[in-house]
Amino acid sequence: MNTTIDDGTHGGSALKLHRQLAEIWATGPGLQRLAAINHSVIGVRFMVTAFVFFAIGGVLGMLTRVQLATPNATFMDAETYNQVFTMHGSIMLFLFAIPMLEGIAVYLTPKMLGTRDFAFPRLTAYGYWCYLFGGTILTTALVAGVAPDSGWFMYTPLSSNVYTPGINADVWLLGVTFVEISALTLAVEIIVSILTMRAPGMSLDRMPIFGWYMLVTALMMVVAFPPLILGSILLETERAFGLPFFDPSRGGDPLLWQHLFWLFGHPDVYIIFLPMAGLLSTMIPVFAGTPLIGYRAIIVAIIGLAFISFGIWVHHMFTVGIPHLALAFFSAGSAIVAVPTSVQLFAWLATLAHGRPIWNVPMLYIFGFFSTFAIGGLTGVMLAMVPFDWQAHDTYFVVAHFHYVIGGSVAFPILAALYYWLPLLTGRTAVYRLAIPAFWLIFVGFNMTFFLMHLAGLLGMPRRIYTYPAVENWTWLNLLSSLGGFIMTIGFALVVIDLIAQVRYGRRVRRDPWKAATLEWAMPIPPSPYAFASLPHIEVRADRIAVGDLAPSLARGEGYLGFVRNGWQETLGVHMTSGMPEQLIVLPRSTYLPLWTALATATAVLCMLFKLYLLSLGMVLVTAALFVLAGQSAGQTRDYGLLPVGRGLSLPPHTETTNPPAWWALAFTLVADGTLFTSLIFGLLYLWISAPNWPPVGRPDTSLAIALASVVVLVVAAISARGALRAVVGSRAPGAWIALSAAALVAAIAGLVVLIGNVIPRPTEHALGATAAAVLGFVVLHAAIGLLFLLSNILRLTFGLVSARRHIDFRLTRLWSDYTAITGALAIGLVLALPALVDLLGMRS
Amino acid sequence: MKAKSQPETLTNSTMKVHKGQACHLWLLAVGFSVWACALAAAYVLHSVGCTFGWSTDTLRWSLALAILIHLALIGALWRTFARRFPTPPLSQTDSFMRWVIMGTLIAAFITIVFTLGPALFLTTCT
Amino acid sequence: MSTLDPAGSAARSIANLWWLMLTGAVSLFALVMILFAMVMIRPHWGAKVAPARWIVFGGLCLPAIVLTPLVAYALVTGERLLPGTGADPMRIEAQAAQWKWKFRYPGIDGGETEGVLHLPAGKPVDIVVTSVDVIHAFWIPRLGGKIDAVPGHRNVLRLQADVPGHYQGLCNEFCGIGHSRMRFDVIVHPAAEFSAALAKPDAAGKVPQ
Ligand code: HEM
Ligand SMILES: [Cu+2]
Ligand SMILES: [Cu+2]
């Protein structure tokens, strides 16, 4: 990297500045597109890919409708049907809904918040590739006829290797976990970016409401995905290595899977819905011509919604035999969760009431949302009532309900948003002639398809049956429902045609065609890769910005960073709450590294799928090495001190601050990791208290000496990590501390491996042994990753990326070691307590 | 909107104000964290009680106690924050944070009563 | 098969709950759609109501008024449907397996039936539901709600059929390729004739001992 600093003088005319910035930020042509990491590029890729998967999922949905249109149909046999509906559900949720919202977040959030990109562009790209490869694995399996076939919630024992011996279930567990890990990385990135990378002056109370929605959504993702990831890992280890976490004959419990799955599954519905509500809260004020009403009330509502949605997962398990009193918690919770939702609904109505709403195409689709969402919400409250659910559970009533909430309330807002933001994306305005008939076809078709399913369910039609006898009076309902499906499909096809027409032949538009007042319109359209030629200073709530005045001034470089320096991709980091600028963030330039890393990860997953476990382990190590490598190129080889950022302000580069985005990223990653750890502990205690065939035959017995020694060395490792940091800050050599820390970690791993080897009962014999081994394995894994952190420290020292001011890498190591020591002590403590827990079981009634 | 305010450099004193505000952020989650804790406590108490055959009264009273403790906790938080934020608040951001934090506390209080209250009346272990 | 054509006490009280909720839901849906239409068509109409009122009345008061009684009513209904209450009812064991149902009638002449469940009319019965392989669910829509058959667990469902007759039951949890066909017949006998009908060697579904 260039070590001289250009002076930060303003870059002259808007055009000159544009050329200079574009040269630095642009993604190269041709094959270099594979190296793209820019948020606009990746965001669009996410959305387009998600649409493709929507189409695939839609075709599968239509296939189920063809099969069910008539009784005793022979279009598909049971085996094919099971694959088709399982893949339909899995694709719609994991490969369409979540990636779609991620794409929207990646594309829009930085622009709305007035910054040039997300905090970790390479991670965005990695997330995209993982999604693409994971999705490809799943669809390939479908084409090959070995797709998952146990339903999208994969209830075990049906999905265990006894009842689904083939590769089908492994495809789901591995493919979906792969996609989930990508979602998790993106969630962390979204949180950190929203919190630390906004336009200067954008305090939390000035953040556009969409920023709040995305922040809450991403935080939910960080806590919601780990239980499912853990569940999938446990189920895959059960299938591959025979550890009986869910096998009731060996002390496991199939209900544990359901708890872990729905602990993810229910919040997932809100994770999908909240960004949609965020889009609506952004569009509705524009069409009403007045700022959003109830900004603060909505924020309280979505915080409440986020929490409550985690406390109602058991409403998917009302029929598994949990006592009524416990069901009441979740029933009442599922009812009260309607309150924050209706707060939002009435805030939108109030906004419309206090403005002068205009009718246009997005508004038409918003109307579609209002009606489907109202119905979906009302049937949701019905299903929350325990006795009614005892009848309606797993019937077509439920299928109708969730298509109204996740189908209607996602599809309509997305289409509205598409018509609203497409001018930004393409610089062209819609042709519109097709959008309106398309709406009515979708709307009528949707209601015809799904409304009748309520009735079919009440008439006793269970879901997931591949055919039904003619004697039931379900036939006409199903026929009409399938017909509606075709009408809806034609509507979607029209939308696609309309979109293509718009992209190719649409009229060019000028800036801000809707007279909106949010920052994403304060840039040339379509947006340049650097988004803003210079960054604004925000002094009002960011949905009341005079876009027309601001945009030209930003383009002329009159805001912050309206110049280029050292070929750096620069943007600003701000204080979380107040939005005051704190650091100059230098982002990495485009690179193939994310692609290679994702390929390595995909190979690891494929090897796992084909039971080449050693090779898989090797590829995991390659992936880890690539991650460590990526970390190295994100440093600076010298201290810069304060650098001018424009408008008379000077800030340190992020490499020289104590809390750069990377620090927060690790902190939130640890939140996710801590959730996984907690879920694992919950799993152990859950099995202890409610699984059949407990206590096991052999009494658990752990070597106290080795256990305590392991805790001690973990603590030593953490202390030496602190020592290393202190040495670096004091400009002393940290080598000895690093060596001590590494030695301690190796000792800990050795001790823990011995403990795992001696777990009683054997991990394959009883779930007690299996969970104990898993808990200890968790610690081994973290100690091993700790070694990677130390490796990174050494590399950084060698490359000269460390100084008394540039010590972030050591702070990260300290955080990780502390976390490892704490979770390690808890885990080992729990394992030591197992004999006592088992003895307690003797007192059961 | 553009370039209106004085450009500012960061001095030590502005840094301090920031430190004070930074801790507000997680306060947004405090109210409902108490609710989450109450739910977890009630659920655990219930399953432990039913597994180990506690008498109906013991179970009922321990549930009631768990609920009360958490409600009291929210009350205490309410008082702390009411004192801690001066009225009128320092800045727009502070008044916003105060409104939202207090809002979540009230909402969490009601949610505890609504979701856990029924447990005081229902059959315990079937 | 219709849950809206109840033939047992549990199904009836749930159907009542449904009709009640349906009425409420239709009114609320109409309310939301009318409000939406009004704010779109008559711009000044809604502006007379202050913003805070919109949110407080619509977003807080309305759901509070609706949800509180609804939850209370549903919980009371649920309590009444619980098994194990009242004077020691008859127990029947239902055992699910891929893809068939077996029923045992402890205390009644060692009978076991496959694919056919015999019930007495007018008497509460507790069905003890278990599974030998994967998860299934026991459901007779016209008599009452369902309960899952989870391997390793014993779940109990309280049912009471009103009058003698023939009904249909089915497996309501996806359990593999035979799921669609995992049905069973339910024959409800007059209470007085129940034991005798079941004891007959040619009773429907009887498994030879
Ligand atoms: C936004 C779009 C949609 C989403 C998110 C979605 C989601 C889902 C999910 C999660 C399931 C459950 C799968 C399972 O039980 O394992 C499902 C089932 C089903 N979906 Fe969709 N769906 C969508 C669109 C459609 C469309 C367009 C159709 C047909 C026209 C359709 C028809 C069905 C049917 C018939 C089932 C029941 C399959 C069964 O349980 O046997 N869905 N859908
Ligand atoms: Cu749910
Ligand atoms: Cu079955």
Q: Does A204 touch chain C (CB under 8 A)?
A: no
Write the pLDDT tens digit of every residue in C164-201.
Answer: 999 999 999 999 999 999 999 999 999 999 988 888 88
User: Which atom of ligand 1 has the smallest separation from the CA of A68?
Assistant: 35
Best probe residue, ligand 1, of A62, A88, A96, A152 (max atoms within 8 Å of C-beta): A88
Question: How many A×C Cβ pairs under 8 Å?
Answer: 237
Which residues from A are below 8 Å from C38, CB to CB? Answer: 353
CB atoms within 10 A of CB C84: 12
Token pair listed for A533: 């030629």
Ligand nearest to the CA of A268: 2
Ligand nearest to the CA of A398: 1
Q: Does A580 touch chain B (CB under 8 A)?
A: yes
Among chain B residues, CA nearest to A314: B43
A756-763 own/partner pairs: CB under 8 Å, 24+ apart: A756/A780, A758/A702, A758/A703, A759/A700, A759/A702, A760/A698, A760/A699, A760/A700, A760/A701, A761/A696, A761/A697, A761/A698, A761/A700, A763/A243
Contact (CB<8Å) B21/A333: no
A233-239 own/partner pairs: CB under 8 Å, 24+ apart: A233/A177, A234/A260, A234/A683, A234/A774, A235/A154, A235/A156, A235/A159, A235/A160, A235/A169, A235/A173, A236/A170, A236/A173, A236/A174, A236/A177, A236/A608, A237/A774, A238/A156, A238/A160, A238/A161, A239/A160, A239/A161, A239/A169, A239/A170, A239/A173
Among chain B residues, CA nearest to A323: B126
Write the pLDDT tens digit of every residue in A444-493.
Answer: 999 999 999 999 999 999 999 999 998 888 999 999 999 999 999 999 99
User: Which atom of ligand 1 has the smallest separation from the CA of A90?
Assistant: 10
The b-or-e profile of A19-46 (16+ CB within 10 A means b, else e) is ebbeebbbbeeeeeeebbbbbbbbbbbb
Contact (CB<8Å) B126/A575: no
Residue A131 sits at the vertex; the CA angle it makes with A129 and A137, to the nearest 5 degrees, is 100
Q: What is the pTM of this model?
A: 0.94
Residue C75's alpha-carbon distances to A224, A324, A329, A330, C78, in angstroms, are 29, 9, 11, 12, 5
Residue A268 sits at the vertex; the CA angle it makes with A267 and A271, to the nearest 5 degrees, is 90
User: Which atom of ligand 1 has the smallest separation from the CA of A449?
Assistant: 30
- Domain map of chain C by residue range? 9-81, 90-204
How far, in Å, from the CA of A451 to the mean position of ligand 2? 19
Which residues from A are below 8 Å from C77, CB to CB? Answer: 387
Residues framing ligand 1 (Cβ under 6 A): A 58, 61-62, 64-65, 85-86, 88-89, 92-93, 97, 151-152, 399, 403, 406-407, 410-411, 449, 463-464, 485, 488
Q: Give the gap in angstroms from C-alpha A385 to the nearest C-alpha of chain B.
A: 13
Write the pLDDT tens digit of every residue in C43-102.
Answer: 788 888 899 999 999 999 999 999 999 999 999 999 999 987 666 788 999 999 999 999
Give the residue, by CA position, lying nearest to ligand 1 atom 21.
A61
Give the residue, by CA position, lying nearest to ligand 1 atom 30.
A485
User: Which atom of ligand 1 has the smallest separation from the CA of A81?
Assistant: 41
CATH code of the domain made up of C90-204: 2.60.40.420
Q: Does A312 touch chain C (CB under 8 A)?
A: no
Write the pLDDT tens digit of every residue in A148-176.
Answer: 999 999 999 999 999 999 899 999 999 99
Contact (CB<8Å) A647/B3: yes
Chain A: partners with 3+ C-beta pairs within 8 Å: B, C
Give the residue, by CA position, lying nearest to ligand 1 atom 9.
A89
| Residue A3 predicted with pLDDT over 60 | no
Q: Give the gap in angstroms from C-alpha C188 to the nearest C-alpha of chain A.
A: 19
* Minimal Cβ distance to B9: which of A304, A308, A650: A650
Q: Does A328 touch chain C (CB under 8 A)?
A: yes
Give me the CATH topology for the region A356-530.
Cytochrome C Oxidase; Chain A (1.20.210)
Residue A564's alpha-carbon distances to A20, A39, A430, A526, A567, in angstroms, are 7, 19, 36, 21, 7
Ligand nearest to the CA of C134: 3
Token pair listed for A314: 């058991």
CATH code of the domain made up of A660-842: 1.20.120.80
Residue A193's alpha-carbon distances to A661, A712, C52, C176, in angstroms, are 8, 37, 32, 45
Contact (CB<8Å) C75/B126: no
ipTM over 0.90 threshold? yes
Give the residue, by CA position, lying nearest to ligand 1 atom 12.
A89
Residue A368's alpha-carbon distances to A405, A416, A443, A447, in angstroms, are 12, 9, 7, 10
- pLDDT range class, residue A28, cuts 50, 70, 90: confident
- pLDDT tens over chain B, length 126 residues: 333 333 333 333 333 334 444 457 889 999 999 999 999 999 999 999 999 989 999 999 999 999 999 999 999 999 988 887 666 667 888 889 889 999 999 999 999 999 999 999 998 888
**Contact predicate A818/A667, CB 8 Å:** no
Ligand nearest to the CA of A261: 2
Segment holding A372, helix H or strand E = helix A361-384
- Domain map of chain A by residue range? 356-530, 660-842
What mean pLDDT do residues A593-597 have? 95
* Minimal Cβ distance to B118: which of C75, C82, C83: C75
